[in-house]
Amino acid sequence: MFYHRKELIQPVRVENPDPRFGQLLLEQFGGATGELTAALQYWVQSFHVEDPAIRDMLQDIAIEEFGHLEMVGKLIEQHTRNLDQTPVYDAPLFRVRGVGPHLVDSQGSAWTANYINEGANVVRDLRADIAAEAGARQTYEALIKVCHDEGSKKALTHLLTREVSHTAMFMQALDRLGKLTDPIFGSVEPDETVDLYFDLSKNGVDHRGPWNQEPKFRYREEPAPQGGLPPEPTNPDEEKLKLHAPKLAAG
């Protein structure tokens, strides 16, 4: 069951509102890397995670992310409060749809659950969560770099910080499962090709790294197809070469 208090989890005080910056901020309200993605991803995962402690962590962090979504919304609300004094074509989105946040990204594309990565397995979920946090952090850094308002910067830095915090927590959980540095999980045994590296993109100079070096990996410099020619397709609908009386044909 959810509850809400109207006070914010952290302060949001915009001194120099700029609706153009408000539009950029939509990326973290209704965008792929935004707080809604994070909140819903962790929370939906919690429905199928059996481990009570990891489930609890997912719920705690999800609820915090809803509070962060609220902060981003308030930033946008404040950045658009003087919309009438902004040239129309500097902030057309808010002119047409009204002030305050909307569930679209900075390009005006509606939020979609296609951004969410979850399902069936806690290791898969936690890896998805570390990725989600990395995307969110990256966007906050981009926003901070172009921000000219101190109050916004402070709020955004807090939001970036918490993405780091959550990453640390997810890493700890993966580590307890023994899966932070172990690539293998699940119940299907990999086959004997698991340590092969295929050099499929060529340019004469080999840049190598620990991801394709002995003894962990066997490097294949000239990988050849192992699968042979596939059988020909059989298509019952396929057009065969035959003649129709072209009575409607052009020309």
Our finding on whether 239 is near a second copy (CB under 8 A) is: yes
CA distance 216 to 213: 6
Our finding on whether 221 is near a second copy (CB under 8 A) is: no
Our finding on whether 151 is near a second copy (CB under 8 A) is: no
Residues 6+ apart with CB under 8 A from 200: 223
Residues 79-108 within binding reach of a second copy (CB under 8 A):
81, 83-84, 88-90, 92-93, 95-108
Our CB check for a second copy shows the closer of 143 and 149 to be 143
Smallest gap from residue 78 Cβ to a second copy (A)? 7
Our finding on whether 150 is near a second copy (CB under 8 A) is: no
Our CB check for a second copy shows the closer of 23 and 152 to be 23
Degrees to nearest 5, angle at CA 123 with 119 and 124: 40
Instruction: Report how many residues bind a second copy under the rule CB under 8 A.
Output: 180
Smallest gap from residue 149 Cβ to a second copy (A)? 13
Smallest gap from residue 97 Cβ to a second copy (A)? 5
Smallest gap from residue 16 Cβ to a second copy (A)? 14
Cβ–Cβ under 8 Å, residues 42 and 62: yes
Residues 184-203 within binding reach of a second copy (CB under 8 A):
184-191, 193-203
Our finding on whether 24 is near a second copy (CB under 8 A) is: yes
In the list 22, 35, 149, 173, the residue contacting a second copy (rule: CB under 8 A) is 173
Q: Among 102, 150, 31, which Cα is nearest to 91's? A: 102
Our finding on whether 15 is near a second copy (CB under 8 A) is: no
Q: Which helix (H) or strand (E) holds 193?
A: none
DSSP per-residue codes, 136-178: HHHHHHHHHHT---HHHHHHHHHHHHHHHHHHHHHHHHHHHTT
Our finding on whether 237 is near a second copy (CB under 8 A) is: yes
Residue 63: CB atoms within 10 Å: 15
In the list 35, 57, 79, 149, the residue contacting a second copy (rule: CB under 8 A) is 57
Smallest gap from residue 25 Cβ to a second copy (A)? 10
Our finding on whether 211 is near a second copy (CB under 8 A) is: yes
Our finding on whether 152 is near a second copy (CB under 8 A) is: no
Q: Which helix (H) or strand (E) holds 59?
A: helix 52-79
CA distance 96 to 113: 25
Smallest gap from residue 154 Cβ to a second copy (A)? 8
Phi-psi region of 238 (alpha: psi -120 to 50; beta: other; left: phi over 0): beta
Smallest gap from residue 245 Cβ to a second copy (A)? 8
Our finding on whether 6 is near a second copy (CB under 8 A) is: yes
Q: Which helix (H) or strand (E) holds 198?
A: strand 196-198
State phi, psi for 164 to the nearest 5 degrees. Answer: -65, -45
